[in-house]
Amino acid sequence: MNSKKKYRVTICTLISAIVILTITAVFANEMTFSREEFCNLIIETLEKSSVIDDTVSARQHFSDTYNPNVQKAYEIGIIQGNEKGEFHPEKEISSQDAAVILKRLQDYIAPQLIYDTAKEKKGKEWEKIKGYAASSIAFLSMTDVIPNGAFHPEEPLEEGTARAMIEKIFENRDSQPMAKPGVLPKRKVPVLMYHVIGNPPSEKSPYGYLCVSPEAFDQQMKYLKQQGYTFLFPNEIYYADSCHKPIIVTFDDGYDNNYYWAYRIAKKYNAKITIYMVGDYLDKPGYLSSVQLREMTQSRIVNIGSHTMSHKDLSLLSRQELKYEFEESKRKLEQAVGKEITDISYPFGKFSAAVIEEAKKYYKSAFTVLQEIPGSAFGYARIVIPRGMDIPGLQANLSKFQ
């Protein structure tokens, strides 16, 4: 081969390499998103679908970006920055970071959507998912935003995947079952009642039997998960007719160990729970804070209900006193969590005809302890789970509903 031919071959080879590298680079840029570009896609989709409009503020929240779409995404609660007020807009977004944002997006456009916990689908790479993203990814799998559990947490988010997931979220808003407060199912649903997750203050404590150890609660939630139970909120109880094994898990009073233990364990198993909070106890030592209530509510693992304002025997109160207990606790809790409070549990399980009549003015359903009004949404009984109840004991209680 003469020198001219060698030269032409070398030039052609070089040009081909440059073209391939250029195409690869362009393809890669088209296939992945920066954090800022992901926000652009979401906000533009929301505006195009008329979910949000120009009234959503674009005021500055982050020190490292002036992009109005990023600011809007923060305003509606679907993104967060770090403790320094930074967003890192140019950073490539990972699939699991995107999943956390997409879960918030789904909750924003479909706040009443029912997550059927029995439909969780786990993929082969789920052990690689980091703790902060685990519940979000699990919940997206329940609604097929992540189909068949096929998820690659350590890979960057691809544009086609992102668009398909957003499209599915909008489809879910129009096709998936939503909560219907106060609507009862045809079947009877077991409702478990807890108070404290932790040890009693002393062996002689009169309420020590209501203190369930973290280990026991963990075992009970694990058992329910393994047995295929669907964890429901009270405002989703009608959906029990579409479940193989429905169950509702509740807590009374609002002790702070409900956050440190019950919430942590519930997230571990994606077991939805409801905490009935006493209004006067909010932000008091030993009880839940407003910040904790909002965090748990936003996770969609926890629903907050009312346990009245001051935890009095409602059957002994006047109409005016009942009005205060119901109205004021509802107002205070709604202010704390930023959403409507639709259900209540009666302190000590005590109620009367007057109590029910007044409660109906503020709530859609009410739970008791043992006394029940068959067919009424305002007298639904619960099963007390005492300290020391083992799995066979739990099984015996649940067998009555099969």
- pLDDT tens digit string along 293-351? 999 999 999 999 999 999 999 999 999 999 999 999 999 999 999 999 999 999 999 99
CA distance 15 to 196: 71
Q: Return the SS3 of 344.
A: strand
Taking only the tens place, the pLDDT of each residue in 170-190 is: 999 999 999 999 999 999 999
Taking only the tens place, the pLDDT of each residue in 213-265 is: 999 999 999 999 999 999 999 999 999 999 999 999 999 999 999 999 999 99
Neighbour count for residue 158 (Cβ, 10 Å): 17
- Among candidates 125, 68, 73, 124, which has minimal Cα distance to 100? 73
pLDDT of residue 167: 97
CA distance 37 to 90: 8
Structural domains of the chain, with CATH? 35-172 (no CATH), 191-399 (3.20.20.370)
Paired tokens of 388:
């020391």
Q: Return the SS3 of 252.
A: strand
For residue 64, the one-letter residue type is: D
CA dist list (Å): 229 to 187, 314, 364, 380: 15, 33, 24, 20
The answer to whether the CB of 220 falls within 8 A of the CB of 394 is yes
Taking only the tens place, the pLDDT of each residue in 31-67 is: 678 999 999 999 999 999 999 987 888 788 899 999 9
CA dist list (Å): 242 to 58, 71, 145, 227, 274: 42, 40, 20, 16, 20
The answer to whether the CB of 193 falls within 8 A of the CB of 381 is no
Paired tokens of 290:
């407003």
CA distance 32 to 95: 10
CA distance 371 to 165: 46
Q: Return the SS3 of 63.
A: coil
* Angle, helices 35-48/159-175, rounded to nearest 10 degrees: 40
